[in-house]
Structure 1
Amino acid sequence: MARKDSQQSDTPAKQGRFAQIRQVYRAAYQVDRTIPWWMLLAALGVVVVGVIIGLLLGHWVYALILSLPLAMLAATLVLSRRAERAAYRALEGQPGAAGAALGALRRGWYADQQPVAVDGARGARPEDMTGAAFVYRAVGRPGVVLIGEGPDARRSKLLASERKKIERVAPGVPVTLVVVGDGDGQVAVRKLTGKLTRMKAVLTKDEVSAVNKRLKSLGGLRPPIPAGMDPQRARVDRKAMRGR
C-alpha cells in the first residue's frame, strides 16, 4: 500500500517536470526555430559515440540501451542553453530588459527588477516607454553596480545622480557603472549577469548586507509602471530551464 502511494506521488511530479520542459520548449521555439535540430543533433551524437564504444568493447546493444537516457539528457541540456539564449534575445531592445536579466543573478547579490530611477515617458504604459531611461541597482561583493539603459543623455544624467546618492549614503564603497546596449563600451543584455559575477570581490558578505540596508534607506522609486515589470513577460527563469 505504501509502495502504491509512493508511485502515485511520483507520477504528478514527473508529469509536472515534463509539462515544464514542454512549456520551456514552446516558448523558446517561438524565438529560435532551430532548437529541435540542435536537440536532435546532440541526442544522435551521444548515441553514435555510445554505439562506437560498444562496438569496440563487443557489446554494442548494451551500449545503445545505455546511451538512450544519456541522449535524452544531452537534448535537455541543449534545450536549456538554447532556451536561455532565446529568452535573452526576446529581451533585447525592450524597455526594462536589464531589470528582467537581473532576475537571473545568483546568491550573494541584492538586486531588484524594478528600476531605482526612471527618466522620461512618465504616465505611459510600459510598452510605450521606448524613449525612457532606466537605472537599476545591484549590490554584491564587488560593491554597488548601477546598470543603465536608454538614451545617452537621460541615462548619463540618471547614473550620475544615483552615484552621488550612493557615495553619500555608503562612502568608500566601490560604485561601478554599466550600460546595457549594443554600442561601444556597452554590455549586451545576455552578458549582463556574467559580467557582474566575474567582477572582483572587495567586500565581505556582512559588508554587502550592511551596504544593502543603507541603500534601502534611500527609499524605493515608484515608477509609472506596474510592479514586477516584465517586458512582454519575457523573463530569464533558470529554474524553469533546468526543469527544477
Structure 2
Amino acid sequence: MAKTRNAAANKAAKAEAKAARKAASKERRSQLWQAFQIQRKEDKRLLPYMIGAFVLIVAASVALGLFAGGFTTYLMIPLGVVFGALVAFIIFGRRAQKSVYRKAEGQTGAAAWALDNLRGKWRVTPGVAATGHFDAVHRVIGRPGVIFVGEGSATRVKPLLAQEKKRTARLVGDVPIYDIVIGNGDDQVPLAKLERHLNKLPANITVKQMDSLESRLAALGTKIGPAAMPKGPLPTQAKMRGVQRTVRRK
C-alpha cells in the first residue's frame, strides 16, 4: 500500500513539474512575442532585415544543394531554413537590446540596471556611494579585480570614484582597481558598450580571490544601500524628491 501511495505521489509530482515547465515555456513565448511586436512597431527596419537575412541564407543553401546534387540537395533546404531562422532571431535580439539601451541611456539608475544584467561571474554591489542628485558609484568584482562604475554628472561622480578607490585600496592590496564613468564624453563608456568594455579588461585574479575580495569589501558597506537605488532606469523628468530625501537621510 505504501509503495502504491509513493508511486502515485511521484507521478503527481512529475505531472505537476511538467505542467509548470509547460506554463513557464508558454509564458516565455508570450513575452517574446510581445517584445517582438513592440520592437517591430518602433523599429521599421527590423522586419526587412530579418526577412532579408532569412531569404538570403535559404537561397544560398538551396543553391549550394543544387550545386552539390544528390541527397545534399534535400538536406540543405531544411538546414537553410533552420539557420536562416536562427540568424533572423539573432538580428531581432541584437536590435531589441540596442533599443533597450538607447531608451535607458541617460536615465537615473541605468548603469545599476545594466550591471545587474551582466552575463558571467560578476559580483555587483549597487550604490556604494551617491549624491542627493542621484549621481552614483557601483562596485563590481570580477576576474579583472575591482571595478567602480559611476553614473551621473562627471564632475560630481569623479570625486566619489576617487574616494571609493582610496577606501578600497586599503583592503585589497595589489588587486587592480578600475574606474569607469558612464556617458558619451571623452574617457567615458557608453551604457550600451559597458558589458563589452568590462569583458575586455584583463583577467588578473582567480574566482577564489573574487570570493575573498567580496567578503572583505562587504565590511565597507555602502553609503546609501541598494534599497535607496531605483529599481531600473527612471525617466530623467521623473519626480524623485522622496527618493532623493531617502538618499540624503542615509
Range class of TM-score, shorter chain = 0.7 to 0.9
**Match of residue 199 from structure 1:** 201
Normalised TM-score (structure 1):
0.77
Question: Conserved in 1, the CA contact under 8 Å of 2:127 and 2:229?
Answer: no
Q: Post-superposition shift, 1:172?
A: 2.6
Q: Post-superposition shift, 1:146?
A: 0.6
Q: Post-superposition shift, 1:89?
A: 1.2
Question: Conserved in 2, the CA contact under 8 Å of 1:118 and 1:223?
Answer: no
1:88-117 Cα deviation digits (max 9, x unpaired): 1121111122111112323322113x3211
1:139 aligned partner, one-letter code: I
Question: Conserved in 2, the CA contact under 8 Å of 1:149 and 1:179?
Answer: yes
Gaps of 5+ in 2: 1-15, 236-250
Q: From the two aligned structures, give the one with the greater helix fraction.
A: 2
Q: 1:212 to 1:14 in 2, by over 3 A?
A: closer
Seq. identity, % = 32
Q: 2:241 matched to 1:229? A: no
1:210 aligned partner, one-letter code: S
Alignment: residue pair count: 219
Larger Rg belongs to: 2
**Match of residue 109 from structure 1:** 122
Rounded to whole Å, the distance in 2 between the matches of 1:18 and 1:140 is: 33
Could you say what secondary structure the match of 2:180 adopts?
strand
Q: Post-superposition shift, 1:159?
A: 0.8
Q: Quick one: which of 149, 158, 169 aligns to 2:171? A: 169
Q: 1:103 to 1:10 in 2, by over 3 A?
A: closer
Question: Conserved in 1, the CA contact under 8 Å of 2:111 and 2:182?
Answer: yes
Aligned pairs for 1:10-21 within 5 A? 12=23, 15-21=26-32
Q: 2:190 matched to 1:188? A: yes
Could you say what secondary structure the match of 1:181 adopts?
coil
Q: Quick one: which of 201, 207, 210 aligns to 1:208? A: 210
Q: 1:116 to 1:6 in 2, by over 3 A?
A: closer
**Match of residue 118 from structure 1:** 130
**Match of residue 35 from structure 2:** 24
